[in-house]
A = this chain, B = another copy of it.
Amino acid sequence: MTVGEIARLLGGAVQGDPATAITGVNGLNEAGPGDLCFVRNDQFLPMLSETKASAALIPKPVDPLPLPAAIVVAEPEQAFVRVLHMFAAERSPRPAAGVHERAWVAPGAVLGANVSVGPGAFVGEGAVLGDGVVLYPGVYIGRGSEIGPDTVVYPNAVIREGVRVGARCVLHAGVCVGSDGFGFVPMGGAWVKIPQVGTVEVGDDVEIGSNTAIDRATFGVTKLGNGVKIDNLVQIGHNVQIGAHSVIAGMAGVAGSTVIGTQVRIGASAGINGHITIGDGASIAARSGVTRSVAPGQVVSGFPAMDHAQQRRVMVVQAQLPELAKRVRQLEARLAALEDNKEL
């Protein structure tokens, strides 16, 4: 594509040569000839002189322009994301619509228009796939599960029976949704399984990372709100509820029955206890171990997690503990000397 063509699609104004060819996208520092990059806001415009990109999306005209071309747009980052979507569609086109001859779709499953079911995928009895759903090879959709329109499920992901997934979701390779929650009762020295007869409901526009496991409820529902984004290798326990637009980074875990509000941010490898509440807009720092409920908007860190500002003060002292212990020893010696002296 040329800079001129991209500018037309974005509704932006070209500076420099509109015939400049664009073959890739990249960050300003990593970009090379043929790449398009972007400058988030005015403050970073001076960095344009350091890039080797052929063109950049910029928030206002620059004179002189230190690279072959630029496109002036109101919101360069958002415009850049739109360009990325074009490149992504070209590099990873959706698989062709249709049920592959090597897929297995049970009688009684209902498929919308333009559904794509790859070789080796399985769709159980009574399952419902909305229009435009893509099931990559090896995906398993259990009996009676419903997948909303335009949701994409990547290879070998498993959605067990009776689960509902909304529209426009992305479930990455190896995801398991709807496996049994971890529930047992002790009986005579052994553990007896509590059958997990509940289900999972995933809202619209949810993304779930590779090999993440989201368990079905014991009874009732494990629920992910609209727009929730979950990274790889995360565990969501049975009966957990996650509010809309919350984000969970990789390797974090949420134990059973915990209720997470909307727009919560949970950092990588954080662990959240069961049966607690995380208020709307709260932030849980990476590697936190959250043992108690967190108030709306609160920022916590550490293990056991506490208010982040207080945790930082704790960590400063903690790093200096050997010195603190030394000062206590010195105090003891000086005090003993004073005491001896007084006694004399």
* Chain A contact residues, CB within 8 Å of chain B: 24-27, 30, 77-78, 81, 84-85, 87-88, 91-92, 100, 102, 104, 118-120, 122, 136-138, 140, 143, 154-156, 158, 160-162, 170, 172-174, 176, 179-180, 182, 184-185, 187, 189-197, 205, 207, 209-211, 213, 215, 218-220, 227, 229, 231-233, 235, 237, 245, 247, 249-251, 253, 255, 263, 268-269, 271, 273, 286-287, 289, 303-304, 306, 310, 313-322, 324-325, 327-328, 331-332, 334-335, 338-339, 341-342
Does A332 lie within 8 Å of B321, measured CB to CB? no
Does B209 lie within 8 Å of A237, measured CB to CB? no
Does A210 lie within 8 Å of B213, measured CB to CB? yes
Q: List 29 interface pairs A-B (beta carbons < 8 Å), by A numbering.
A: A88-B197, A92-B162, A119-B122, A122-B155, A137-B140, A174-B174, A179-B210, A182-B209, A182-B232, A193-B207, A210-B215, A211-B213, A237-B250, A249-B255, A250-B255, A251-B251, A251-B271, A253-B268, A255-B268, A271-B286, A313-B321, A316-B322, A318-B318, A324-B324, A324-B328, A327-B332, A335-B335, A338-B339, A338-B342
Does B174 lie within 8 Å of A213, measured CB to CB? yes
